[in-house]
């Protein structure tokens, strides 16, 4: 019997990370370490999420898909992705500037790495007064202009800068140059890929005392210089109503301000759903039981559970594949 599944967070130390994943989201962090990422749900090789609740405790995500197939992820999703879970769900704690970077699209990632590309979106959970996102170029940029700024180490000057506040949401398609600055806690939804081309890294050094490696040559052919996308997809939450933040070929993400109890119908969707509890607490109920979800927890709802109740108070994200 399948049921709403919780997984052990996979914590990643990062040079730009901090301690807020523990302070704000209740993650158990290793003492004295700068932790930048909590992978909530991952099927990537070497980083497969392991169940931590119920009878399936100890099984990893790929094992579950192999056994339950469409019952878990949806028949349509299984036919398309097989044993590969199609999304990577994370929290990021950025306390120093992220490297200026870009991710390849599906075609380039398949050609170079045998992987999916990396389109992603960010929801700002919490941030300091200095928080800013740089996403895309601030106006038309030629390849020649880009190359000149890379050579001079002034690439951030070309990027559009947006001061952000809790609740701000940005969509970052593959091929978009971007970085994060200031103190920012982010919920990230992305394709199942961990391919990043680092272009500029603020001249800092890694733990070994050397400057971190750049991939400027690989990045040059990955950048979409013609992108006209509106990256800011922020929408105000509504009480007991799901508000769509972004719908794209890779995922749909909705925002809910829960206050009391609502019913949610996934009949005919033919996809798993993921719930990220950003704050507060809720109880998920279905015909066979209940599961409590606390602030900072993420739960995977199998596709075979099509009708659920959500009861409690707080803010959450809902993610699925249309």
Tokens representing 301? 């709802």
Alpha carbon dihedral 183, 275, 10, 190, in 10-degree steps, equals: -70
DSSP category for residue 232? B
Closest CA to 36 of 20, 21, 14: 14
- Yes or no: say if 5 and 61 are a contact pair by the CB < 8 Å rule: no
Do strands 47-48 and 159-163 pair parallel, antiparallel, or not at all (unpaired)? unpaired
From the list 19, 52, 76, 198, the catalytic residue is 198
What b/e sequence results for 133-157 when a residue is b if at least 16 CB atoms lie within 10 Å of its CB, and e otherwise?
Answer: bbbbbeeebeeeebeebbeeeebbe
Closest CA to 86 of 173, 192, 187: 192
210 catalytic, yes or no?
Answer: no
Which amino acids are annotated catalytic?
Answer: 198
């Amino acid at each position: 019997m399948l049921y709403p599944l919780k997984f052990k967070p996979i914590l990643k130390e990062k040079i730009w990370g901090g301690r807020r994943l523990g302070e704000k989201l209740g993650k158990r962090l290793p003492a004295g370490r700068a932790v930048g990422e909590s992978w909530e749900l991952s099927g990537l090789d070497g980083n497969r999420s392991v169940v931590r609740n119920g009878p399936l405790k100890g099984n990893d995500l790929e094992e579950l898909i192999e056994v339950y197939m469409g019952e878990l992820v949806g028949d349509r999703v299984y036919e398309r992705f097989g044993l590969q879970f199609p999304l990577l769900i994370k929290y990021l704690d950025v306390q120093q500037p992220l490297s200026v970077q870009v991710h390849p699209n599906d075609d380039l990632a398949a050609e170079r790495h045998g992987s999916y590309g990396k389109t992603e979106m960010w929801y700002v959970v919490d941030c300091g007064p200095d928080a800013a996102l740089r996403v895309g170029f601030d106006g038309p940029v030629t390849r020649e202009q880009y190359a000149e700024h890379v050579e001079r180490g002034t690439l951030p000057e070309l990027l559009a800068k947006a001061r952000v506040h809790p609740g701000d949401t940005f969509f970052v398609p593959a091929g978009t140059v971007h970085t994060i600055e200031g103190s920012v806690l982010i919920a990230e939804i992305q394709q199942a890929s961990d391919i990043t081309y680092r272009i500029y890294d603020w001249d800092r050094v890694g733990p070994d005392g050397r400057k971190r490696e750049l991939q400027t040559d690989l990045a040059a052919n990955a950048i979409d210089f013609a992108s006209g996308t509106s990256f800011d997809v922020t929408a105000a939450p509504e009480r007991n109503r799901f508000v769509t933040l972004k719908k794209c070929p890779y995922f749909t993400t909705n925002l809910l301000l829960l206050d009391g109890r609502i019913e949610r119908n996934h009949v005919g969707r033919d996809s798993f759903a993921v719930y990220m509890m950003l704050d507060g607490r809720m109880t998920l109920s279905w015909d066979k039981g209940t599961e409590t979800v606390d602030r900072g927890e993420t739960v995977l709802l199998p596709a075979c559970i099509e009708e659920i109740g959500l009861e409690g108070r707080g803010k959450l994200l809902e993610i699925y594949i249309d």
